[in-house]
Structure formats: C-alpha cells, structure tokens
Amino acid sequence: MNAPTWLTDLVGMLMVFVAGYSVWRLVISRAWGRATDYESDILHVAVGIAAAGIVAGWAHTLPRSVWTAVFIAGAVYFAVRIYLTWSDRTARARLLAHTACCAVLVYMFLANVAPTTIHGSTAGMYTMAGMDGMILDQTITYPTIGLIFVVGLCFYAVATLNNIAPLKPEDAEGGSTLMLAPRSVDVCRIVIVLVLAYAILTKIV
C-alpha cells in the first residue's frame, strides 16, 4: 500500500511530539514536585525518535544498525528488570510491555521497515517508471512475523485503553507523591503501538 505523503508526515510528527512530550515530563516532573516513570519516559523518547525515522524519511536520525543495538540493549535491560521484580505483578506487566516494544523495534529495523523511496511512504511495492523499467521499493522480510506483531500491538492498544482508570477526586489534589499525568503515558503507549502497527502493515500490504 502506497501511503500518501501527508499521512506519513503526520504520523512522523506525531512520534516527534511523543518524544518531545516525554522529554518535557522528564524535565518538569522534578520542578513540579511530581513523580514520573523514568523508564517509560526514556523508552518513549527513544521509540518516538526511532519510529519517526521509520515512517518518514525527513525524521531519519541514527543509522539502522545503531538503533538496532539500542533496542537490543533495551530489551536485555528490561528482561533483567523483569527477573529482578518478578514478584511485583504491576511492575512485571509494565516491564514485559517495554521488553516487547523493544523486540518489535528490533524486528522492524532488521526486517527493513523503512520509508519507501516512492512518495516518502512506508509502503513496499513495485512501481512502473515510464517505459524504460521499474523502480523497485524493497519489501519487508519475514512478513508473517510482522503480521503477528501487528495483531499483538492492536490487542495491546485496546487493552491499555480499556485499563485507563477514570480520574478520582483525590487524584486531582496536590501532593509531592502524585504521579505526573499518568494517563497521558498510557495515551502515549497507545499512540506508539498503533504507529508501529501502521508502519509494519503498510510495508506488508
């Protein structure tokens, strides 16, 4: 599927916004006397920047090999954290999601999920170039694994949306121990997984 340029640009800017918002959370949380999940915010910064480069050529930053190494290291780190905090079910679920996110990014970089040279989209296809030949846009490798990831990402997005708790009156009160906008982190997670699913799916179909 040859996605329109405006859509890939919009998705790329959305990922840049997620990364910027996560940086803002890291900076402002201490100044506002609020707690934040540093692991999630740092991961969202990295994923936002990397995913922006995956869907839009203008957002390219580090070489693919470097990003692959970063997310392999991230997956190993979160796997170790899972082992160390296995008895804490809340932390375990969050860390499992982080590990899976890193694994998906590693797959995407190794499977050649990247902006196409055709209209700047993420689609993989053959396009006729006049009468002289064809422009080949390389398609994704291991598409079955990609489809499995897409299904898993969509289910995770729905589950996260379903688990977002409504704001309670006591949560709106001030206090240094309160988390900084925890529901916005869940929204960022939903946006990230949907964008990753979009990037994989457009490359496959």
The 3-state secondary structure of the chain reads CCCCHHHHHHHHHHHHHHHHHHHHHHHHHHHCCCECCHHHHHHHHHHHHHHHHHHCHHHCCCCHHHHHHHHHHHHHHHHHHHHHCCCCHHHHHHHHHHHHHHHHHHHHHHCCCCCCCCCCCCCCCEEEECCCEEEECCCCCCHHHHHHHHHHHHHHHHHHHHHCCCCCHHHHCCCCCCECCHHHHHHHHHHHHHHHHHHHHHHHC
Top pLDDT among 6 and 151 is at: 151
Top pLDDT among 129 and 48 is at: 48
Model confidence over 33-92: pLDDT tens digits?
A: 888 899 999 999 999 999 999 999 899 999 999 999 999 999 999 999 999 999 988 899
Top pLDDT among 180 and 177 is at: 180
Domain boundaries, the chain: 5-204
